[in-house]
Chain A
Amino acid sequence: MTRISVTVDGTRYEDDVPSRTLLVHHLREQLGKVGTVVGCDTSNCGACTVLMTDPDGVPRGVKSCTVLAVQADGREVTTIEGLGGDHPVQRAFHERHALQCGYCTPGMVMAAVDLLREQPDPSDAQVREGLEGNLCRCTGYQNIVRAVQQAAAELRGNEAAVTQPVGVSGP
């Protein structure tokens, strides 16, 4: 057992954890942060993506199934539950119909937040490349790209790009 102190979604938690415990299992099973989910066991699907501060305090997207809980000691973690519910990316996913079953959504949203921190004005291709570590089986990704672009525009303060019609994709 190792004593760790991790701040998750603004709350500091202190726990004794086995050294083999993965961050995602710590979040889900010890802290009740079940908004973050597990979709695979090879770090391919990205459903478990959260933000974790690096040693410089910069929040970066990590797949919480490939981080040991002990590695999160002293770090700040933000999960989908800590995003507030009205984050531009969350709202854009709703408004652009960027989710169907919603299982990949927590990871996809967190990966998109991470992407937009690094690339505030990405091209569609950059969005696609940036999210390639997150699998979605329902949407074909097209509306996810639209959602990320809408959120990007809003975060940049470009309201005009936010209000395109939805429902039929033009040529």
Chain B
Amino acid sequence: MTATLAGTAAEPEVGRARLRKEDARLVTGRTRWTENITVPGMLHLAILRSPHAHARISRVDTSAALREPNVIAAFSGADVAETQGTMACAWPVTEDIVLPIYRPLAVDEVRHVGEPVAVVVARDRASATDALEAIEVDYEPLPVVLGLESALADGAPLVHADAGTNKCYTWVLDSGEAGTGKAVGEAAAAAELTIHRRYVQQRLVPASMEPRSVLVDPTGDEWTIYSATQIPHILRFLLAATTGTPEHKIRVIAPDVGGGFGGKLAVTPEEWIAFAAANRVGKPVKYTESRSESMVSAHHGRDMIQDITLYARRDGTVTGLSVKLLANMGAYLGIVTPGVPILGAFMYNAIYKFPAYRFECTGVFTTTTKTDAYRGAGRPEATYAIERIMDELAAELDLDPLEVRRRNWIRHDEFPFTTVAGLEYDSGNYEAATEKAMQLFGYDTLRAEQAKRRVAGDPVQLGIGVSTYTEMCGLAPSRILGALRYGAGGWESASVRLLPTGKVEVVTGTSPHGQGHVTSWSQIVADQLGVAFDDVEVLHGDTRTSHKGLDTYGSRSLAVGGIALVLACQKVREKARTIAAHLLECAPDDLEFADGAFRVRGTPTSAKTIGECALAVFAAHDLPDGVEPQLDAEATFDPQTFSFPHGTHLCAVDVDTETGAATIRKYVCVDDVGTVVNPLIVEGQVHGGVAQGIAQALYEEAVFDEDGNLVTGSLADYTVPSSADLPEIVSDRTETPATSNPLGVKGVGEAGTIASTPAVVNAIVDALRPSGVTDVPMPCTPERVWRALQTARSGQEVAA
């Protein structure tokens, strides 16, 4: 056995467009989706779900189902009421928040269509599904609660009768009271211009392509749980905490996970039900949802009504902002449901310097599928509202939308900047990103074309939309999370182990589900230890190997987990330095480390690679006194602050005023996500993020009928855009490194989604503004665009 001479790439790995290590198995079908995993003796679970949005369950009889062929067990919520545990909400945002009891299987009442009521465990999936039909349930329908405002009206039917109200909480951030700025009342009193708008964030469905799936194996003296989850560590903790199962007896594995977008930032009733079922029958039990089940029972996102009032001077200076939010919780609280709008609270002030701000959010229960995190979680909603109303201000003052932004944004020489919401933005350069975006877009040329087509009365009008966004990501400093009453911390863990042959095994607490951590983390480690990219293996998503972690969401993995990795590598390097010094018979301080080797200063031929150190440690024949024979290290990183990616997105839309059809003609984005580890992966994240934001602007909406049935309950009705529906995106970057972490990284997972929705809608409204249109509700379907135009035109005629 010889130590591999460490890779000595002169070119740093960080910044290289490395092709992904993950791809080989994914493009050949050698994948470990949870649904692909079978274990000996495995049974299948099917779930009977409520057809009512709100009803009392007066009787459940599963006895006939038990007589069906191949059926091993059938039971209802009442049968496991004492053992099934409860679902937990980890973010009780206020002291007096209403936290309803949330049982995995409903016991006496159902509160949304699709809520699990009873289950069958059978030899195969078809038998389990067939036997559901033999279960008898008597429901006594109760009144449904659907509208956010009607739910809060006096005498409204109650979702949770014992709460006495449909109000979940009211949370306030007031810059005057918090001491982070002036009182918004002063701004209102002194305003030369007041603009009020109401925006509706329609309900969306995360809809990762892999449905949720869980396999619980109770074989032996432990539980092994495979789950298509973003959060294996949190799942393990919460399952232990809410069912009383010893945590050290639970092993959670997130194998290949096919996308999440926040939809798998969840602990699900289905996981708890599969756990209860496996315990009841003493055999492994697997459950995989159908897409139709997923649409109605996996959590949704957005669904807010935003009343936003902007105060300004006539020179375009914004002086204050007031936001009143109604946020639909749905019927129950998922792990971060109440906190989603609160994440947005810090983002309505966006990149602007105005001194007065008040945010008030009321969470509301309705008899609908619960909401929770969806890509961006609170920040897309906030960014949409402020970027839309900044365009309204520009229109009011007859200024270019970018000029209004220039007059209000934080200049690059004003960082670090403490915002009116109390966050310190460490760095940014909005001027540079905007300048670059304008060049790529051909902004002035397109404005000239727009003017020409307006004068000509072209039936297809050109609209230009602007979105200059920032976001907070890298969730998150534990102290801030604690102050916001979040139930956990925001640190991340990594460990690095040198193997005797000089290969490196890395364990991360992040849990990728498409982001390419194995590739990016390998690049970071290659640079830190001077080893070859191919010599690094990254392990994740199994609590047996990844003992500690807080998983992947909120664009946190690189900005938090990546830094933990750097710190662990530094520890390994310092351990190796001691070994190398001993082997080279010099003092550790006499060594310099470069390209994977320690060299004696002034005697560069006298060198030991880190791989040679690893082999020496493995043999342990000749180690300095008191040095352990291991070249491993673990590190945990807890950031002091968030990171703040930003950028400028520009969108040109052709709007056919006769049909209402809006077609994106050009989309340019320049994002500043700090230091880029892998430009290929960053570009992919931007593309996908922008696509999801465009989807909100143009295509997607979860719709309930008056009885609370989800009308858009399949991918035939809920229109996730296809390749034919989306434009080419021109993406580029500026790089202003974050000063809050040693890599200078910020995060990129959510940026595109946060930025793109207002860029598209601003463009549509811009195209129609000469006709008097000031808003088109999302999604901006041809019908809605056409109706907005007709309404505005008839209003103009009336006014005339």
Report A's interface with B, CB cutoff 8 A. Answer: 18, 20, 28, 33-42, 44-45, 47, 79-81, 83, 85, 90, 93-95, 97, 99-106, 109, 124, 127-129, 131-145, 166-171
Contact = CB atoms under 8 A, between A and B. Distances in A.
Interface stretch (B5-13, B78-86, B298-306, B675-683): B675-683
Contacts, number: 193
Interface in B36-83: 36
A72 B685 CA distance: 39
B36 to A, nearest CB: 4
B29 A79 contact: yes
Nearest to B693: A140
Given A94-B19, A129-B723, A169-B729, 17 more contacts: A37-B31, A39-B209, A42-B292, A83-B28, A94-B27, A99-B26, A101-B258, A129-B724, A131-B723, A133-B722, A137-B261, A139-B691, A142-B729, A143-B684, A168-B733, A169-B731, A169-B732
Majority DSSP secondary structure for residues of A touching B: loop
Nearest to A136: B209
Given A94-B19, A103-B33, A138-B514, A132 B687 contact: no
Interface in B510-540: 513-516
Interface of B: 17, 19-20, 22-24, 26-31, 33, 35-36, 126, 207-211, 256-259, 261, 290-292, 440, 513-516, 668, 679-681, 683-685, 687-692, 714-716, 720, 722-726, 728-733
A101 B208 contact: yes
10 contacts: A20-B126, A34-B33, A35-B28, A37-B33, A40-B715, A99-B26, A102-B27, A103-B33, A128-B722, A140-B691
Contacts of A94: 19-20, 23-24, 27
B36 A134 contact: no
A97 B261 contact: no
Given A34-B29, A140-B729, A168-B683, A101 B210 contact: yes
Contacts of B716: 42, 44
B127 to A, nearest CB: 11
A44 B26 CA distance: 21
A129 B680 CA distance: 25
Contact of A100 (B29, B36, B684): B684
B714 A40 contact: yes
Given A101-B514, A135-B722, A169 B730 contact: yes
B758 to A, nearest CB: 18
B730 A171 contact: yes
Contacts of B515: 100
A102 B31 contact: yes
A41 B716 CA distance: 9
**Most chain A beta carbons < 10 A, residue from B33, B722, B725:** B722
Nearest to A94: B23
A132 B721 CA distance: 9
Contact of B17 (A131, A137, A141, A167): A167
A34 B258 CA distance: 14
Contact of B27 (A40, A93, A139): A93
